[in-house]
Amino acid sequence: MYQEEKTFTLRFSLEASFPDDYEGEEDTQAWVREWETRIKPDLLKVLFESLRQHRAWQAHIRNRGKSPEDEVEIVLARDFSKPHGFSLLP
Per-residue pLDDT for the chain (90 aa), expressed as one digit of tens each? 899 999 999 999 999 888 888 877 767 788 999 999 999 999 999 999 999 999 999 999 998 889 999 999 999 999 988 776 666 666
Q: Please state, in angstroms and rounded to a whole number, the distance separating the CA atoms of residues 88 and 90.
A: 7
The pLDDT, as a whole number, for residue 72 is 94
Q: Where are the alpha helices (DSSP H) in the chain?
A: 30-34, 40-51
The pLDDT, as a whole number, for residue 26 is 66
Q: Is 62 helix (H, G, I), strand (E, B) or coil?
A: strand
